[in-house]
Structure 1
Amino acid sequence: MTDPFLAAPPPDSPYYLRALTDMANRRAVVTQDAIYTDNGVKLVEKGARIDSRLYDRLVQHKLREPIDRHLTIENAVDVPALMAAGQELAQESALPQLLAQALDGSCDRLLQPLRSIPLPEPIACKLTVMREQRPDLFRHSLQMMMVAVFLALKSGLGERDCVSVAAAALLHDAGVLHMDPSWMDPHHKVQGAQRKHLVAHPITSMLMLQDAGVYPQAVAIAVLEHHERMDGSGYPRSLPGADISPMGRILLLAEVVTAFYEKYTDMSAQRLSLMLRLNHRKFPAALVAHVLPLLQEDETRESALVPLGADAPAHIDTLADAFAQWEQLKAALPLAVRQEPGGVFAFADARLQALQKALIEAGSHPGQQGDLLEHLQGDAVGLAEVALVGREALWQLGSIVNACYRRWPRLSERASPAEAAVADWCERALERL
């Protein structure tokens, strides 16, 4: 893989330019310098008002420099605005309150590093576009920042390092502004070129931070690593845990914790606890140890769990089908093909074996649950717990499918027997998920 640290700053994408110019319809955005194309043609005069009418002109040309180097924005995001937004989020959301209770009962320590984060104008512009055009992403970034600071404090990091952690977490998804917003729709399936863009967004975010020139290199590295995993199954570089920076480890766990609380409004703590325990090889154990004690079952556990029980048989059936089909495909291939180093079949097989091992260790493999379901009839909570494990396992199954397509983007072409087998399995799995 080409060294991402040697790449040039990413050009402004049509999606970012659309978001920026649409925002400019509602608040004053003025050029403080003229804007030129990369071949020296002046597109916009100094002092001009930007709005959506300029979108077509801007998007047709490659700009000499990122557009947000040349803009002044009315009511742009600054440190006081971030503090106010963080305090509002802390009052509304369960996760910051949970973290605060584990500290001193106040969110002040979680927000304190924001006061020292440098915000040069291009970064402030991106955060303003995020706040105005992608408010869910803005809230996600703030909430993840608080989780990351919590983990940093629990790890004994000093004030300066906590500021770096806060900056990395706040800006980790800046690259998402350059992606098609449709991918954030929970019903939208990312595929093809969109999958490449999704994998690339940590690189885009990292390049933006490098281009700003005010953040330590450790911040850019951590942003690049926020989707890596300790077992090497993450992206964009598939780093093993030993090669992931300490700050990167904080971010990758903070991202998952935040995402679970945003995705699941019911039983967030229990779902997250289960996921972390089933996937203990993916996440840094020392940091997970600071999270698990927070995720105690609450008094509403039984009433919240009960409705899930009806899903248990379907989850078990889907998992059993996926595992059985894989074994059939595996048996049909020569051993040399199955074990080809660096091949897609060996990759998928290793991931599936790891998932099955985790389920066996948890007593939740489909092969272990036939008699269990019969035994649990009438036990609504027991059935619901089985369903919860099954739901998490299906999510892991989907992540294996996505990883195969991500690493082998031409997998669907079935260029070899191994690729054909994996593509067949992925398509069957997606039909059932």
Structure 2
Amino acid sequence: MQATATSAAVNFAPGDSQANPDFLAAIIQASETYSIVASQDIVDVRGLKLWAKGLPVSAALQQRLLERKLLNPIEACLMAEDGVTHFSLMEHLKEFLASDRSMAYALRPYAQLLEKQLKQIPLHSVAQLLLTTAMATRPGALDHAVQAMALAGGMAQAQSLPVDVRLAMVGGLLHDIGEAYIQPQYLDGDEPLDLLGHQHMMAHPRIAQLLLEATTDYPTTLCRAVGEHHERANGSGYPARLHGEDISPLGMLLAAVETTMGVSQSPTAPLFRASFALRVVPGEFPSRYSSVVFNMARDAREKIPTNIRVPADALQHINATLEKARLTTQALQSPTGSKERAGIVLLADDRLARLRTAWNALGVWGLAPEQLTPQDHFEMDLAWAELRLRLFELQRECMLLAESLSEAEKTELTPIWADLKVQHA
């Protein structure tokens, strides 16, 4: 059970477990606030006891763990004696639902259900350890987890899908626990990650899946879904670039939750923005998710801002980028070359066609400014942001895939990612 992050390999296999340095650093930092102790003797693969049961973690333990392979994963050998509990999770949930945020208002009809299910959620000691670590080391991380838990439960209930509400809530709560294994500088930034940062972040869903499978008794359905929460139905997600039904129902729900949570931090019409993000590119998400979030926005009585005006040249930059990049990919299609090269060209061409469809579907092109409604201006502003982000993500994905190509083929395809760069208006 091994995943490789750029920073270090993560191995949870019994008898050959290697502690991750980023996780250990986070645990030591968390232990300054909360009581984290050994729940059993910590033993290396040769049977040598490194730390006795009941002893608190310290920098001395950290150094020993970095030098040895362990008989059992370190995550299974530690516990947080305080920190995150069912009681504290309930407090966070109630505080969120009572807030003036749009999402909280929309989820209040489900409050009784969410609180009832939360009382019965199995909080494994490893999950508690990771949540406590996140709470201690990253301000806002636990709030994000609790809000994702509530949103996942509400969406599962609203859709009447074959997704258990309680399991959806656990998935929402735990979906980001793999981030404890990522170097801190790549977390919580305001701008999209560059190529190196994205390589680090791509590992966290798979790490979380392997961790839960190896150290907890959570069902396989949940572990798999946590590993899928950044996938997209059109194959543009990560880490496995899954398509369609290759993504489990719970995994697809968690992916929609992740996207909604990311967009819903906006101070103006956050749920309308999230609904737009879920539907703007054909094939990324099943339409039901955008519909559910749109209904939530309506229930929350969100107001569309009336003071947004998108410069025409900003949108023309998107249009020109789409057109130029599409022509480039078509010109680079060739019967010669490696399958990997051909795959990158076809991927870029297909994705650009979908983005063109999204662009055309806005239906406001050719209208005079005075003919545009506030809703039109709002959606044009959202389209500018979302399509620009998708072009950046496509550029990054093509460059990552090109790492397996020969230098000659990389050079041939360089015009693709050069053309995908959108200039600011």
- Do they superpose with TM above 0.5? yes
What secondary structure, in the 3-state scheme, does the structure 2 residue paired with 1:336 have?
Answer: coil
Does residue 281 of structure 1 match 2:280?
no
Taking the aligned partners of 1:19 and 1:295, their CA distance within structure 2 comes to 37
* Mean Cα deviation higher: 110-119 or 163-172: 110-119
Match of 1:92 in 2: 99
Unaligned runs of 5+ in 2: 5-10
Match of 2:397 in 1: 403
Residues 305, 340 of structure 1: alpha-carbon distance in 2 compared, 3 angstrom cutoff: farther
Does residue 259 of structure 1 match 2:258?
no
Taking the aligned partners of 2:38 and 2:333, their CA distance within structure 1 comes to 64
Unaligned runs of 5+ in 1: none
Does residue 422 of structure 1 match 2:425?
no
* Mean Cα deviation higher: 405-414 or 282-291: 405-414
Give the superposition deviation at 1:423.
3.6
Map of 1:260-409 to 2, 5 A cutoff?
A: 260-262=263-265, 264-296=266-298, 301=303, 304-306=305-307, 308-309=308-309, 311-330=310-329, 332-333=331-332, 335-336=334-335, 343-363=343-363, 368=365, 371-372=366-367, 375-376=368-369, 381=374, 382-409=376-403
Taking the aligned partners of 2:174 and 2:300, their CA distance within structure 1 comes to 33
What secondary structure, in the 3-state scheme, does the structure 1 residue paired with 2:37 have?
Answer: strand
Taking the aligned partners of 1:95 and 1:331, their CA distance within structure 2 comes to 44
What secondary structure, in the 3-state scheme, does the structure 1 residue paired with 2:328 have?
Answer: helix
Which residue type is aligned with residue 296 of structure 2? L
Residues 70, 325 of structure 1: alpha-carbon distance in 2 compared, 3 angstrom cutoff: same
- Per-residue displacement from partner, 1:150-196 (whole Å, max 9, x unpaired)? 121123368x9222221122111111111112222334553445323
* Mean Cα deviation higher: 404-413 or 120-129: 404-413
Identity over the aligned pairs, expressed in percent? 24
Taking the aligned partners of 1:204 and 1:96, their CA distance within structure 2 comes to 29
Taking the aligned partners of 1:29 and 1:213, their CA distance within structure 2 comes to 18
Taking the aligned partners of 2:89 and 2:191, their CA distance within structure 1 comes to 30
Taking the aligned partners of 2:131 and 2:330, their CA distance within structure 1 comes to 52
Taking the aligned partners of 1:218 and 1:388, their CA distance within structure 2 comes to 34
Whether the aligned pair in 2 keeps the contact of 1:96 and 1:146 (CA below 8 Å) is: no
Which residue type is aligned with residue 363 of structure 2? G
- TM-score relative to the length of structure 2: 0.85
Map of 1:6-405 to 2, 5 A cutoff?
A: 8-9=12-13, 11-52=18-59, 54-92=61-99, 94-101=101-108, 104=109, 107-156=111-160, 161-187=164-190, 189-262=192-265, 264-296=266-298, 301=303, 304-306=305-307, 308-309=308-309, 311-330=310-329, 332-333=331-332, 335-336=334-335, 343-363=343-363, 368=365, 371-372=366-367, 375-376=368-369, 381=374, 382-405=376-399
Taking the aligned partners of 2:214 and 2:369, their CA distance within structure 1 comes to 58
Taking the aligned partners of 2:389 and 2:268, their CA distance within structure 1 comes to 17
Give the superposition deviation at 1:119.
2.0
Give the superposition deviation at 1:380.
8.4
Give the superposition deviation at 1:41.
4.0
CA RMSD of aligned residues (A): 3.3
Residues 320, 154 of structure 1: alpha-carbon distance in 2 compared, 3 angstrom cutoff: closer
- TM-score relative to the length of structure 1: 0.83
- Per-residue displacement from partner, 1:213-236 (whole Å, max 9, x unpaired)? 421111112112212222222222
Whichever structure has more helix as a proportion of its residues is 1
